[in-house]
Amino acid sequence: MRYALLTIILLAVAESASAEIYKYQDVEGRICFSDKPMQGDYKLLWRSKSIGEISSYAPPGMTRSGSPSGWDPAQYRLNLARHAPIIDEAARRVRLRPELLHAMVKAESGYDPNALSKAGARGLMQLMPDTAKRYGVTNITDPYQNVDGGSRYLRDLLAMFNSNLSLALAAYNSGENNVKKHGNQVPPFPETQGYVKKVLEYYTENRVATAGKEKTASLSVTN
Of residues 84, 98, 99, 102, the one with CA closest to residue 48: 84
Within 10 angstroms of residue 92's Cβ, the number of other Cβ atoms is 13
If phi > 0 it is left, if psi is from -120 to 50 it is alpha, else beta; for residue 128 that is beta
Within 10 angstroms of residue 65's Cβ, the number of other Cβ atoms is 6
Instruction: Identify the active-site residue in 108, 191, 201, 214.
Output: 108
Q: Is there a catalytic annotation at residue 53?
A: no
Burial class (CB in 10 A: 0-12, 13-18, 19+), 180: middle
Torsion angle defined by CA atoms of residues 170, 56, 60 and 175, in that order, rounded to the nearest 10 degrees? 10
Burial class (CB in 10 A: 0-12, 13-18, 19+), 128: middle
* Angle of the 143-160 helix axis to the 73-94 helix axis, nearest 10: 50
**Which are the catalytic amino acids?**
108
